[in-house]
Amino acid sequence: MRMGAATALGVAALLLVGGCDDMTKQKKQNPYASRATAPGEVPAGTVQYGETATPVPPVTMALLARGQSEYHVFCAPCHAETGDGHGMIVQRGFPAPPPLAAARPQFVYDVVTDGRGVMYGFAQRIAPEDRWAVVAYVHALQRSQRMALADLTAEQRAVP
């Protein structure tokens, strides 16, 4: 009896495999056979997915202040307030990021948006304009660490 059941199962399996083979030969629509639109062209009546490029906002004190508060919330836990990469999460065992070195603004923006290695992206958490604010703040943070007080004008030194 048990052998009989096994044989029946085997036959059923063979029939199923045979059935799969037939499916590869059946008539079907090939989505790549012909294109109604040129590559990269959006078909009429559809909405493009994803965000459109946000213009880079001019650097103002208000933008830097916004960037500082976003950096404090989202980046300092790993990169530390100074950007040296020894934030609290790293002290608790998360892989240490390299010190935030001078980098092109677009590179920093893309890393914040998409993440890099073990660092997750912030596209869902930080709005595009605020990401540019973080980029401007990171740049200011780096410059502040290479700047001698003598390089500042009296007016710049007076800014709180």
| Shortest CB 51 distance to ligand HEC, Å | 16
Task: Please select the residue that binds ligand HEC; options are 56, 89, 123, 140, rule is CB under 6 A.
Answer: 89
For the chain, give the secondary structure using H, E and C.
CHHHHHHHHHHHHHHHHHHHHHHHHCCCCCCCCCCCCCCCCCCCCCCCCCCCCCCCCCCCHHHHHHHHHHHHHHCHHHHCCCCCCCCHHHHCCCCCCCCCCCCCHHHHHHHHHHCECCECCCCCCCCHHHHHHHHHHHHHHHHHHHCCHHHCCHHHHHCC
Q: Should residue 138 be labelled a site residue for ligand HEC when binding is judged by CB under 6 A?
A: yes
- Cβ neighbors of 57 (< 8 A, separation 6 or more) are 63, 129, 132, 133
Binding range to ligand HEC, per CB under 6 A, among 9-17, 32-40, 46-54, 87-95:
87-95
Q: Which is nearer to ligand HEC, 35 or 116 (CB)?
A: 116
For residues 36 to 75, the per-residue mask of contacts with ligand HEC, x marking binding by CB under 6 A and - elsewhere, is --------------------------------------xx
Task: Decide: is 110 part of the binding site for ligand HEC (CB under 6 A).
Answer: no
> By CB under 6 A, is residue 97 in contact with ligand HEC?
yes
Q: Interface residues with ligand HEC (CB under 6 A)?
A: 74-75, 77-79, 89, 94-95, 97-98, 100-101, 103, 108, 111-112, 116-119, 122, 134, 138
